[in-house]
Amino acid sequence: MGKSGKMIVANIHDTKSNLSRYLKEVAAGEEVIICSYGNPVAKIVPYTNKIKCRKPGLLKGKIKIAADFDELPEDFLKYFR
C-alpha cells in the first residue's frame, strides 16, 4: 500500500484515460493496481534509484593474481588449431 495506506485500483481503460493523474499519485508515494476484467495484472509503484556507490579497495589483500597470469600455457594453442 502507498504512504496513505490506500491502494488505487483501476481498470485498463481508466488507466489509459487518466495516466497522468495516476502517475502524480504514484509520485506522491501511492501504488496503483491495474486490473483486466477484475483481475490484477500490474502494479505501478514509485521509482527508487538504488545505485550503490563503489568502494575502491574493498577486496584489497583478499585477491592474489599469480605472477604468470598473462602467460599462455604451452599446450593451450593446440585447442585453437
- Give the Cα separation of 25 and 2 in Å (integer): 9
Q: What is the mean pLDDT of each run of 10 residues along the chain (81 residues)?
A: 74 95 93 95 91 86 89 81 66
pLDDT (0 to 100) of residue 44:
95
- Give the Cα separation of 8 and 25 in Å (integer): 9
CATH classification code of 1-47: 3.40.1620.10
pLDDT (0 to 100) of residue 5:
63
Every domain of the chain and the residues it spans? 1-47
pLDDT (0 to 100) of residue 1:
58
pLDDT (0 to 100) of residue 75:
82
